[in-house]
Chains A and B, each alone.
Chain A
Amino acid sequence: MSVTSGTLERSAARPAAPAPPPGRRTRRAFTRRRALTIAAFLAPAAVFVAIFTYYPLLSGGVGAFRTWTVYNITNQPWVGFGNFETVLNDPLFYSTVGNTVLWVIGSLVPQFVIGFALALWLRPKFRFRGIYQALVFFPWAVSGFLIGILFRWMFNGEFGVVNDLLMKTGIIDTPLPWLADPALAMPAIILANVWYGVTFFAIMILAALQSVPDELYEAASLDGAGRVRAFWHVTVPYIRTTLALTVLLRTIWIFNFPDLIFGMTGGGPGGRTHIVTSYMIEITQQGDYGRASALGLIVFMVLAIFAVFYLLATRERKEALR
């Protein structure tokens, strides 16, 4: 339509020279225009993320070393490691660490196993596969907080459907107070998380399975391998990196998934089902930003270790693909 160039080019436009001499000058103009384009296109994204994600993260990192509460927001004296001492002297902190390990491993292993099995079963085409995939995809549309609510109602000690089903099938005789007893509440929230997270593994692993070249299976067949051997000697080695990446990414996400616990138990009873991240949110809501930031910094360190592993693994995979 309009032949005039857009705003980006106009800023770098010059009076049209009759056939510019080939060589350095035009190239420099070209690279400058290119740099301007890149900068202008990236600016909006960079500005938002810098101001509203990175700046709070950094000021939180600094605030971890100050007394900083919502009740006295203007007065923030330095306290050195005072906040960290408070965190480390808090007995509840250690139970949240234990819960976090349980929550991550207890969710991850069943998610991985069931997700892998689902992916293998979904691999061959069958008539309603598309519809099936859309249906088992549904948990994904539900927010973590709402998943917590759904399961909170199902595990209700008095009118919950879980107790009803268990009593109908004769597995228990009296209703169990699922969410009032920490020993029962932890498995319950982990079950809810498994319900939600299997889909992600199924999707990722299915995509990986479909990327294995057919020739490898043909070769394996010719060598007399059956399906089981082909699985261990062809499929698993081929998708190993994807599996490792998916597990790492998922570990990070589960660690950062206090939403579900927030909706299901609110960290209760008595803070005994908190994981580190949900506990941090509770402290934030109590208004002690300094202490929450100290806890946040500890979380950050742990996450950073995982993140480094993840990024190294992606790099390695890229090298392997080259």
Chain B
Amino acid sequence: MSTTAIARRTAHPNSTGTRTSRIVRFVALGAWLIFTLFPLYWIAVTAFKPRSDIYKFPLEYWPSTFSIENFVGLFEKANFGVYLVNSIVVATVAAILVTLISLLSGYIIARFEFRGKGAIIMAFLVTQMIPAFIALGPLYQLMVDLGLVNQRTGLVIVYIAMCIPFSTIMLRGFFENVPDALEEAAMIDGCSRLTALFRVLVPVMAPGIIAAFIFNFVSCWNELFLSVTLMTSDANKTVPTALNGFITSYNIDWGSMSAAAVLTVLPTMVLFAFASKYIVQGLTSGAVKG
């Protein structure tokens, strides 16, 4: 009996199966890939067409003339530079702080058993199911009372609160993959727990921590409802808020809109490409673990 015969008879899903089923598989995977990438391709193509070609029949599936006038217009007509800076500053500061705070909380939840631990995990999980925008009005009023409306600081604070739960759950999963003998040894050598955490554990977990940072950054970078509510003056708008402002009731300038969309999506795609492996790990270990 040849090995191929055995391979064909096996029940294991890793066996590649018959020739026909292989062809079906690759056709299906290819079709899904095209479907996935087409919307992104289309917005990019639109962004690089001159304005006159966007509204022209027959539609061009590849720009006959490449032009960057849409991008130039964004920075000249709209204050897109200001919005970009706001978004970068807010998302970066918030993501750094969230990652630091969640390192501490994730560490404790991974390493210690104590009364009330279940309740704390539950309180974090509940925020993942009850979204922040349910309480948009009360949150706005709270921020008015604190004098934090139209302030980058205010947006950073609400973003920190928004990202802490998932970030904690994700980092907890990474801590659980690191043996506790590491920090025990460091503490026997006279390090405090905090020093052991940052000197010994953080370097070991660096990839996971960077992934958590990226995930938090992208969440803040993409967030719309909180920023629309809290950042009403033009000088404080973030990129999603500005995009929302491009939508008027009957008329959208698709040249500017597509250029802005490309500039918004590109950084997040690059970052996700780096971190996707760890985000997947964090999801599959963290999100499904109670």
Contacts and interface: CB of A to CB of B under 8 A. Distances in A.
Interface of A: 1-3, 5-9, 34-35, 37-38, 41-42, 44-46, 48-49, 51-57, 59-60, 63, 68, 70, 73, 114, 117-118, 120-125, 132-147, 149-154, 156, 158-159, 161, 164, 195, 198, 200, 203-204, 207, 209, 214, 217-218, 220-221, 225-227, 229-231, 234-235, 242, 245-246, 249, 252, 256, 258-259, 262-263, 266, 277, 280-281, 284-285, 289, 292-293, 296, 299-300, 303-304, 306-307, 310-311, 314-315, 317-318
Contact of A277 (B33, B133, B221, B284): B133
A8 B195 CA distance: 11
Contacts of B127: 49, 53-54
Given A121-B25, A140-B272, A204 B288 contact: yes
Contacts, number: 291
Given A53-B127, A209-B13, A217-B12, A280 B36 contact: no
B33 A44 contact: no
Contacts of B218: 141
A124 B16 contact: yes
Given A54-B127, A227-B10, 5 more contacts: A153-B42, A156-B254, A204-B284, A296-B134, A311-B125
Contact of A234 (B11, B35, B134, B280): B11
A137 B37 contact: no
A41 B135 contact: no
Nearest to B159: A52
B265 A53 contact: no
A45 B105 contact: yes
A42 B124 contact: no
Interface band, chain B: 35 or more
Contacts of A152: 252
B171 to A, nearest CB: 11
Contacts of A154: 39, 42
Given A195-B39, A256-B131, A292-B136, A51 B126 contact: no
B98 to A, nearest CB: 9
Given A48-B164, A145-B224, A300 B37 contact: no
14 contacts: A6-B195, A38-B108, A51-B161, A57-B134, A124-B13, A138-B272, A139-B36, A142-B222, A143-B223, A146-B265, A153-B46, A195-B36, A227-B13, A263-B244
Given A49-B161, A143-B222, A153-B257, A303 B130 contact: yes
Given A38-B114, A52-B158, A161-B59, A141 B269 contact: yes
Contacts of A42: 104-105, 108, 120
> Which residue among A41, A132, A138, A200 has the maximum number of chain B CB atoms within 10 Å of its CB?
A41
Nearest to B24: A121
B138 A315 contact: no
A306 B128 CA distance: 12
Contacts of A153: 42-43, 46, 254, 257-258
B96 interface: no
B165 A49 contact: yes
Given A53-B127, A259-B224, A315-B290, A284 B276 contact: no
B129 interface: yes
A246 B288 CA distance: 8
B247 interface: yes
Contacts of A226: 9, 11
A149 B40 CA distance: 11
B117 to A, nearest CB: 9
B68 interface: no
Interface string B216-243: 0010011111001100000000001001
B29 interface: yes
Contact of B225 (A151, A161, A281): A281
Interface in B22-45: 25, 28-29, 32-33, 35-37, 39-40, 42-43
Query: What are the 9 closest A-B residue pairs judged by CB atoms, nearest first?
Result: A6-B192, A143-B222, A314-B290, A289-B137, A230-B11, A52-B161, A56-B135, A45-B105, A207-B284
A142 B120 contact: no
B142 to A, nearest CB: 6
Contacts of B55: 158-159
Contacts of A280: 133-134
Nearest to B109: A42
Contacts of A63: 137-138
Given A53-B162, A256-B131, A141 B14 contact: no
A68 B130 contact: no
A227 B15 contact: yes
Given A48-B161, A136-B36, A220-B11, A143 B130 contact: no
Contact of B268 (A55, A142, A156, A198): A142
A55 B160 CA distance: 15
Contacts of B17: 227
A227 B11 CA distance: 4
A8 B194 contact: yes
A203 B244 CA distance: 31
Interface string B66-94: 00000000000000000000000000000
